[in-house]
Amino acid sequence: MTDKKRYQKLFRQALLIRLVEEKIIELYPYDKIQSPVHLSIGQEAVAVGVCESLYQEDLVFITYRGHAFYLAKGGDLKLMMAELFGRANGVSKGKAGSMHLAAPEVGVMGASAVVASTISLAVGAALANRLQNKPGLSVVCFGDGATEQGTYHESLNFAALYNLPVLFLCENNGLAVHTTLTERQTYAIHKHAQAYGIESVRIEEGWDFQRIGDVTAGITAAMRKDGRPRLIEVITCRYKEHVGPGEDYDAGYRSRTDIGDWMARDPLCLDTELVAKLLPELDAEITAAVAFAEAGPLPGPQDLLSDIV
């Protein structure tokens, strides 16, 4: 694939995600999405860049801020929208909402709203692959805040001890809700993981999906050969508030100028020509998904007690 074709392909994926998120913002005041939404706006490039090197059989564990990875890994947009609308024909029959997306058919193994709680699951999935001689990497996405949880340390240690093919993917947006990283951490994430013998790399240009794609390609290729765990820390930026459709630059913990540099490099903001070219088809896709969601049946009383065990 030529560089230009590759750029356009990745751009399209990232733009779709951003437009989906912006559609959610547009719909939010109408109370159709009755679920907290943690939007991926600003962080799309990470998902798109990483998933470029992942196969369908690679298992990905995501977080409550999971729309980008859900879509980038191949999750169905219609089913996602129906899920946000709480419909019985949504991804999870309306029981998951935005925070718990999953698409097992393409390896999206679930999202948790308890920070860091899926990290050890990814290690277990890798252990299962190893013991059953199944190919496939286990990828776990988490934010900078998750690295403060004890279970993160436990998971790194176990994965390194047993040499498991886990890709620890940290989306470092510098925030845990409203608290900045320097208020919380004494360590550097990519250096800390090296203490366990886990090769780690930090990518500063988190807006650059091609760069993220290149680094991930190299790392995943190595992992498929040697089966050892790795860590990739990507610096990224959350444009919107922690949860919800709005912006909160007036709240005091950060200002719009803090991310001005970032937005000035974001291809989705800069390449207006390509955005204009792709907009009609992407809008159509999103509009169709919303229509699918609106038409979906509501779950009934018989669904309340189903699927417990």
Partner 1 sequence: MAAAMRSALTDHINTIIIGQGVTDFKGIFGTLTGLHREFPGRVIETPLSEDAVTGICIGAALNGLYPINTHIRADFGLLAANQLINMAAKYKYMFGGHFSVPMMVRMVIGRSWGQGAQHSQSLQSLFAHIPGLLVLMPSTPDAIVSSYAYAVAHHRGPVIMFEHRLMYDLAFNASQRPLVDDPFASRLEREGRDVTIVATSIMVLEALRASNYLADFDIQCEVIDLHNISNPDRGLIMKSLAKTGRLIVADTSWLGYGVASEVCRIVAETDPTVLKAPVVNLGMAPSPCPTAKALEDIYYPDLHRTIDTVARLVRGRVDHGVPIPSHKSMSDFYKHFKGPF
Q: How far is the CB of 197 from partner 1 (least distance, A)?
A: 14
The answer for residues whose C-beta is within 8 angstroms of residue 195's C-beta and 6 or more apart is none
User: Is 69 or 158 the residue whose CB approaches partner 1 more closely?
Assistant: 158
User: Is 160 or 201 the residue whose CB approaches partner 1 more closely?
Assistant: 160
Residue 203 phi/psi, 5-degree rounding, is -110, 120
Sign of the C-alpha dihedral computed for residues 73, 79, 82 and 83 taken in this order: negative
| Residues near partner 1 (CB under 8 A) | 59, 61, 90-96, 100, 102, 104, 109-110, 112, 114, 117-129, 131-132, 134, 138, 150-151, 154-155, 157-158, 161-162, 306-309
Backbone Cα Rg of the chain: 19
Gap between the Cα atoms of 154 and 31, Å rounded: 41
Q: How far is the CB of 158 from partner 1 (least distance, A)?
A: 6
Q: How far is the CB of 110 from partner 1 (least distance, A)?
A: 6
The answer for residues whose C-beta is within 8 angstroms of residue 143's C-beta and 6 or more apart is 63, 65, 115, 170, 171, 172, 173, 176
User: Is 258 or 303 the residue whose CB approaches partner 1 more closely?
Assistant: 303
Q: How far is the CB of 135 from partner 1 (least distance, A)?
A: 12
User: Is 112 or 147 the residue whose CB approaches partner 1 more closely?
Assistant: 112
Q: How far is the CB of 181 from partner 1 (least distance, A)?
A: 23
Gap between the Cα atoms of 30 and 288, Å rounded: 18
User: Is 3 or 307 the residue whose CB approaches partner 1 more closely?
Assistant: 307
* Burial classification of residue 301, based on how many CB atoms lie within 10 Å of its CB (0-12 exposed, 13-18 middle, 19 or more buried): exposed
User: Torsion angle of alpha carbons 207, 213, 214, 219, nearest 10°?
Assistant: 120
Q: How far is the CB of 254 from partner 1 (least distance, A)?
A: 30
User: Is 92 or 185 the residue whose CB approaches partner 1 more closely?
Assistant: 92
Instruction: Give the chain's count of helices (H) and strands (E).
Output: 12, 8
Residues 279 and 18: beta-carbon distance below 8 Å: no
User: Is 155 or 210 the residue whose CB approaches partner 1 more closely?
Assistant: 155
Q: Helices 3-27 and 77-84: crossing angle, nearest 10°?
A: 20
SS3 84: helix
User: Is 138 or 210 the residue whose CB approaches partner 1 more closely?
Assistant: 138
Q: How far is the CB of 164 from partner 1 (least distance, A)?
A: 9
Tokens, residue 154: 């436990």
Residues 64 and 98: beta-carbon distance below 8 Å: yes
Residue 232 phi/psi, 5-degree rounding, is -120, 120
Q: How far is the CB of 86 from partner 1 (least distance, A)?
A: 12
